[in-house]
Amino acid sequence: QVKKQCDQKLLIRMKTKCVPCSLNLDTQCPAGYTKITNGTGTPDCRYYLEIKTYTLSFPGCRHRCVKEFEQPECCQGHWGPDCMGK
């Protein structure tokens, strides 16, 4: 039995919205994503507050999330929707 289908595993990475670190404990990743940071997340961003005519910038935190995705692909020498070609 020759293997015809060689799916590729892709890792999709994303970061949640930047918020005050104290509020980031309960932040969840979107559906299907797994959180890979703990606690308050990573303090590597800034969030903004608008007060009347001013916009203030503060250091904030966000979480990193990943999602594994399998992309269907034919093995070398095979093609088509069923990877039957030779």
Is 32 a domain residue?
A: yes
pLDDT in tens, 20-65: 999 999 999 999 999 999 999 999 999 999 999 999 999 999 999 9
In a domain, 26, yes or no: yes
User: Does residue 86 sit within a domain?
Assistant: no
Full-model pTM: 0.73
Alpha-carbon span 46 to 41, nearest angstrom: 13
Which residue range(s) make up the domain with 25? Answer: 7-69
Q: What is the DSSP letter of 49?
A: E
- Residue 74 resides in a domain: no
At residue 84 the predicted structure's pLDDT band, cuts being 50, 70 and 90, is: confident
Confidence of residue 1 (pLDDT cuts 50, 70, 90): low
Answer whether residue 1 is part of any domain.
no
Residue with tokens 């070609």: 85
In a domain, 84, yes or no: no
How many separate domains does the chain show? 1
- Alpha carbons within 13 angstroms on the beta-carbon side of residue 42 total 12
